[in-house]
Amino acid sequence: MKTVVLPVNPRYPQAKAIAAAARALQQGGLVAFPTETVYGLGASALDEDAIRRLYQAKERPASNPLIVHVADLEQLEGLVSELPESALLLARAFWPGPLTLVLQRHPALPDVIAPARATVALRLPAHPVARALIRASARPLVAPSANRFARPSATHAAHVLADLDGRIDLLLDGGPTRIGLESTVLDLYSEPPLLLRPGAITLEQLRAQLPDLQPGGALLDLDEDDALPESPGQHRRHYSPQAELLLFDGEAQAVLSAMRAAAREHLAAGGRVGLLDALEGFAGCEQVSPGADPRAMGRGLFAALRELDERGVDVILARLQVPEGLGAAINDRLLRAADGRIIRV
């Protein structure tokens, strides 16, 4: 199968391209498209065969639940058993946008979306292409990130093709995504509500609406029999480059000294070293900086990891960010890209 690529204006998507993608979805196909967070891989949320094909295309574990994307609140009918007031409160504050809500699922929803769970994760994206596609297909869409499982998420159409060319039917190329990190995931089925995955909607913003919100993201091991995530992005190894990622934390100068020592050691052994930053004192290293401020770093993180892989490095050195606001989401992705390991100095 050859993946068809259709360019689309990210602000004013062309009706012809959207119609072609919607037809593919209605016929059981898989379509990658941009959202404000990352590129998503879409399939009809009501088509079990298409969803199983999506799992196969991504090489995604069947136990890992999917997020259902809707174009408006009316599409929640038939997806959830009840819509609590807290969900309406958050929807009014943050939808459309990069927030996913975990709610009690409707029994008519296919089990393959969230096997062995009483819940379903839901999002109303803000990207014009995503919303136009959901409306045109006249059905809610499951849409995990459009990349092979555990790889850095796709923030450019080229990333989608690098992982999924020939595995999916169609790709809407709407240019780079605006945020670059997957949505914040909030579990409203639990009491108290839990923040399962940090994202661009921060813990601080959410607590202004839900003061009793608790952090609850877990690092789940895929090899454990009882590893049953409530949300995407909870596996310990996720968003990972092909190179080993060494993640450092501690006082700033001590971290830089430890990173320079690690770089010298790997270079002396004949390895190729990548640096996820732009710093002095790292001669001989391949340096790619996602950006200096948190917004720029979030937007460029996955692209930087992929670029260092393309440069053929054996190991990537990175440091944790200040764990506030968007920094918490960046740290979550770095931690999982490093397989849950931190070098504390």
The total of other beta-carbon atoms located within 10 Å of residue 223's CB is: 8
What would the pLDDT profile of 193-222 be if each residue is shown by its tens digit? Answer: 999 999 999 999 999 999 999 987 655 555
How far is CA 128 from its chain centroid? 18
- In angstroms, the CA 333 to CA 280 distance is 25
Token couple for 72: 């408006």
pLDDT at 123 over 60: yes
Per the CB < 8 A criterion, the answer to whether 37 and 203 are in contact is no
What would the pLDDT profile of 169-193 be if each residue is shown by its tens digit? Answer: 999 999 999 999 999 999 999 989 9
Partners of 67 in beta bridges: 121
Token couple for 153: 């998420």
The total of other beta-carbon atoms located within 10 Å of residue 280's CB is: 7
SS3 325: coil
pLDDT at 227 over 70: no
Strand residues in 31-78 grouped as ranges (E): 31-34, 39-44, 67-69
Q: How high is the pLDDT of residue 116?
A: 82
The total of other beta-carbon atoms located within 10 Å of residue 190's CB is: 14
Q: Token match 């401020």: residue?
A: 293
Q: How high is the pLDDT of residue 228?
A: 60
What would the pLDDT profile of 322-344 be if each residue is shown by its tens digit? Answer: 999 999 999 999 999 999 999 99
What would the pLDDT profile of 228-280 be if each residue is shown by its tens digit? Answer: 666 666 666 778 999 999 999 999 999 999 999 999 999 999 999 999 999 99
- In angstroms, the CA 193 to CA 212 distance is 7
SS3 31: strand
SS3 198: coil
- The mean of the pLDDT values for the chain is 93
- In angstroms, the CA 129 to CA 31 distance is 12
Average pLDDT over residues 14-24: 98
pLDDT at 69 over 70: yes
Q: How high is the pLDDT of residue 225?
A: 45
Which domains does the chain carry? Answer: 4-215 (3.90.870.10), 244-344 (3.40.50.11030)
Strand residues in 84-175 grouped as ranges (E): 99-104, 119-123, 141-142, 170-173
- In angstroms, the CA 136 to CA 131 distance is 9
- Pick the residue with more confidence: 72 or 226? 72
- In angstroms, the CA 131 to CA 140 distance is 10
Burial group, residue 94, by CB count within 10 angstroms (0-12, 13-18, 19+):
buried
Average pLDDT over residues 292-304: 96
Q: How high is the pLDDT of residue 177?
A: 98
Q: Token match 């959830």: residue?
A: 80
Per the CB < 8 A criterion, the answer to whether 249 and 319 are in contact is yes
What would the pLDDT profile of 151-168 be if each residue is shown by its tens digit? Answer: 999 999 999 999 999 999
Q: How high is the pLDDT of residue 63?
A: 85
SS3 341: coil
pLDDT band at 292 (very low <50, low <70, confident <90, very high): confident
